[in-house]
Chains A and B, each alone.
Chain A
Amino acid sequence: MTPQSCVTIQKEWDIVGARQLGRDIAKKMGFGTVDQARIATAISELARNIYLYTENGQICFEVVENMNRKGLVILSTDNGPGIDDIGRVMEDGYSTSGGLGAGLPGVKRLMDEFDVQSEVGVGTKIKAIKWAR
């Protein structure tokens, strides 16, 4: 495991910074163009949620490696209001953009692994992994 590199998300512009850093790491790890684009989109969704629904938060990246594969981990952490009903948010067709297929269910589709922990009034922690093929 490599040390984390993080981007603080506060302004909309910070989303671009997070995408850039994530893409650079993905490229170095040898992800193809399609996967790079998917990873960048997932980062956008997570960072946009921090920007829209919380004061600030962080998007961090980590490379994990086990015996036979390498993966890019995206961690989104904030101390915002939290998500009350995660089950509902993960339902298709629920996001406010309605029918664009993005939002958190979109992140889950773009990545290989996805996990949300959230507590109302405390914050939200989302972890998503993409494995290099």
Chain B
Amino acid sequence: MDDVIKLDAANYKDLLKHYIDTQDEKSLYGVEQVSKSFIKNHILPEEIVNLHIQALAELYPEMSEKFQHSMDFLLEAMISYGLAHQEFQMLREKQYEIKSEISVAASMQNTLLGTTKPEIEGLDIGIVSVPAHQMNGDYHHFVKGKDGSLGIAIADVIGKGIPAALCMSMIKYAMDSYPEDSMEPKSILKNLNRVVERNVDASMFITMLYAQYLPCEHKLHYASAGHEPGFYYDAEKGTFTEIETKGLVLGVSSDAEYEQYELKVNKGDMVILLTDGVTECRDGDRFIESEEILEVIKSYEDLPAQEMVNKVYKHFERLQDFELRDDFTLLILRREV
């Protein structure tokens, strides 16, 4: 490496001489390349100034003393830049390490929180869940009951990133410990509320909507803990209505009770569940209206549910210049027959 520097130093002197004589662009291009090589070899600014001083002294031994002093002054002025540069270098390496640790954590999270979309006769399901950063603070989970019912949880931790993701793992394990079928949405939320209240930092809140679909009766039972309201699409009328929900966010009060609602789902109807990463999408500085989301959903009505959610996601991703501000989860459930 020292050889590289010596070579570059000699090169620098020649280029400088040539430039002083001709002021041509070629020497400037040359010094650009030398400068890049210096950066690559961690040469600090004060060393470059020093190199310049030495080159000048060799080229113009009769150089004025005042001018020499001015160059020494410049060298002193560069020392702090050199330090700042080294610090940035170090922080950049650290950041790289942290990034790769997080990506390991993110893939662990995917394994831990993974859920498979169930296949149910007569029901078309689409789900998309994309984190804003590497780790997802949104969560969704499917449970297929022995009685043929389908349990769906959709949740959002207020907050993003790693703390939110850690929090979700806890929710997931609490839910896994519940008996598979016997649980109703309102009792699940009541239970989870206690888990969250006891175990999670007071500054962290979780919203959740828990729904249970009964395919035989074509009914949806659901309860919400302060979660972003979903929508119901009436295929016959071609209209959307907001799904009525009331309920306290998880973890606020230990004895919260949750109200349970029932919805009749007719053929072709859709239930749309989401997190606020969807409703709080932005177009520039403007928050989009929920009508816009519904319009976009409606425009893809003829597609299978999975393709619908994919297209809707693509639409809003693009609208936000491919930079999500919040985790985005959208779930569509459609009764086919």
Residues of A within 8 A of B (CB): 32-34, 37-38, 40-41, 92-93, 99-102, 105-106, 109-110
Measured between beta carbons, the chain A residues less than 8 angstroms from B86 are 101, 109
Contacting residue for B87 out of A32, A38, A40, A92, CB 8 A: A92
Measured between beta carbons, the chain B residues less than 8 angstroms from A41 are 79-80, 83
Pick the most buried of A32, A92, A105: most chain B CB atoms within 10 A of its CB. Answer: A92
- The minimal Cβ–Cβ distance linking B117 to chain A, given in whole angstroms, is 44
Measured between beta carbons, the chain B residues less than 8 angstroms from A32 are 50
Residues of B within 8 A of A (CB): 46-47, 50, 53, 72, 75-76, 79-80, 83-88, 90-91, 94
Contacts A37-B79, A93-B91, A101-B85 aside, 12 further interface pairs with beta carbons under 8 A come to A33-B50, A33-B53, A34-B50, A38-B46, A92-B91, A99-B87, A99-B88, A100-B84, A100-B87, A101-B84, A106-B87, A110-B79
Whether B83 lies near A109 (C-beta < 8 A) is: yes
The 8 closest A-B pairs by CB, nearest first: A101-B87, A101-B83, A101-B84, A106-B83, A41-B79, A92-B90, A34-B50, A37-B76
Bound state CA distance, A92 and B94, in angstroms? 10
Bound state CA distance, A99 and B87, in angstroms? 7
Contacting residue for A100 out of B46, B75, B76, B83, CB 8 A: B83
Whether A99 lies near B76 (C-beta < 8 A) is: no
Bound state CA distance, A37 and B84, in angstroms? 15
Pick the most buried of B53, B84, B86, B87: most chain A CB atoms within 10 A of its CB. Answer: B87
- The minimal Cβ–Cβ distance linking B57 to chain A, given in whole angstroms, is 11
Pick the most buried of B46, B47, B53, B79: most chain A CB atoms within 10 A of its CB. Answer: B79
